[in-house]
């Protein structure tokens, strides 16, 4: 897809928190794609805080959301919340709209790295679902992963409270400490961590993998055939 293409594609984006919108908007700003954002934090709140809300309840709710979004004349649906993805039973969907999962391009990139790695999170609630899907993806690819998971404690609440600068500072400091003490390949697992990771990259001249870069390539690749078939 050429940047600034005259035939605008419509990409629906499902987020669990509004803070993810800015990262997607900025990354796709040059590609002439119309973005339609849907934000629903309630599902993840119930999954993590309501013991009576079962996994089947969550799967049913995600199915309803995705199918409703697909009715809004969009060309593809991007899901940016890994917990939403973990609850998605794609085989039960009654739609043909392509679904792009934020973590799959990231997983593909991670699985092609043979060196020991560190994956950093700030949200403890996303670790189990993300890592379970990563290991499943690696097994499917016949790959072995040497991965250490680190969670930056007491930090995610900052971004949830809209304290973005404080959040970025905390993430930057933590990543800088890792770089100073470890030679492993480092990646950040969440969109909210991308801005801080890029700042640390520039400061230390050290690559930090993030989920946004491989995602953008996948989005463009997915939308290209749809554009030509319109």
Are 80 and 29 within one domain?
A: yes
Q: Quick check: is 98 in a domain?
A: yes
Distance CA 112, CA 24 (A): 24
From first to last of its 230 residues, what are the pLDDT tens digits of the chain? 545 445 678 999 999 888 889 999 999 998 889 999 999 887 777 777 777 778 788 888 889 899 999 999 999 999 998 888 888 888 888 898 999 999 999 999 999 999 999 999 999 988 988 999 999 999 999 999 999 999 999 999 999 888 999 999 999 999 999 999 889 999 999 999 999 999 999 999 999 999 999 999 999 988 875 554 55
Are 98 and 135 within one domain?
A: no
Are 63 and 116 within one domain?
A: no
Are 78 and 152 within one domain?
A: no
pLDDT in the model for residue 74: 94
Are 61 and 134 within one domain?
A: no
Domain that holds residue 125: 104-210
Q: Quick check: is 135 in a domain?
A: yes
pLDDT in the model for residue 230: 53
Are 205 and 151 within one domain?
A: yes
In this structure, the dihedral spanned by the alpha carbons of residues 74, 2, 103 and 42, taken in order and rounded to 10 degrees, is -30
Q: Quick check: is 2 in a domain?
A: no
pLDDT in the model for residue 226: 57
Q: Quick check: is 46 in a domain?
A: yes
Cα 229–chain centre separation? 27
Q: Quick check: is 59 in a domain?
A: yes
Are 44 and 111 within one domain?
A: no
The answer for 36, left when phi > 0, alpha when psi is -120 to 50, beta otherwise, is beta
Q: Quick check: is 198 in a domain?
A: yes
Are 179 and 219 within one domain?
A: no
Cα 2–chain centre separation? 24
Q: Quick check: is 4 in a domain?
A: no
How many domains would you assign to the chain? 2
Length of the chain: 230
pLDDT in the model for residue 5: 47
Are 155 and 66 within one domain?
A: no
Are 76 and 118 within one domain?
A: no
Q: Quick check: is 94 in a domain?
A: yes
Is-contact 187 208, C-beta < 8 A? yes
CATH of the domain at 61: 3.40.50.1860
The pTM of this model reads 0.85
Are 137 and 90 within one domain?
A: no
Are 183 and 196 within one domain?
A: yes
pLDDT in the model for residue 107: 96
């Amino acid at each position: 897809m050429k940047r600034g293409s005259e035939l605008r594609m419509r990409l629906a984006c499902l987020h669990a928190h509004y803070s993810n919108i800015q990262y997607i908007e900025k990354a796709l700003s040059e590609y002439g794609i119309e973005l339609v954002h849907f934000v629903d934090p309630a599902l993840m709140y119930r999954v993590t805080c309501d013991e009576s809300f079962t996994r089947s309840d969550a799967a049913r709710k995600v199915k309803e959301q995705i199918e409703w979004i697909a009715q809004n004349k969009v060309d593809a649906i991007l899901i940016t919340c890994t917990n939403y993805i973990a609850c998605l039973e794609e085989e039960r969907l009654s739609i043909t709209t392509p679904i792009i999962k934020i973590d799959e391009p990231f997983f593909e990139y991670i699985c092609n790295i043979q060196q020991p790695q560190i994956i950093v999170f700030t949200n403890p609630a996303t670790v189990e679902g993300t890592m379970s899907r990563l290991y499943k993806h690696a097994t499917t690819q016949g790959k072995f992963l040497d991965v250490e998971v680190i969670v930056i404690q007491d930090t995610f609440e900052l971004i949830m409270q809209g304290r973005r600068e404080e959040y970025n500072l905390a993430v930057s400091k933590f990543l800088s400490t890792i770089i100073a003490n470890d030679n492993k390949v480092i990646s950040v697992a969440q969109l909210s961590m991308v801005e801080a990771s890029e700042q640390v990259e520039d400061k230390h001249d050290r690559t930090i993998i993030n989920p946004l870069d491989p995602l953008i390539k996948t989005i463009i690749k997915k939308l290209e055939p749809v554009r030509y078939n319109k």
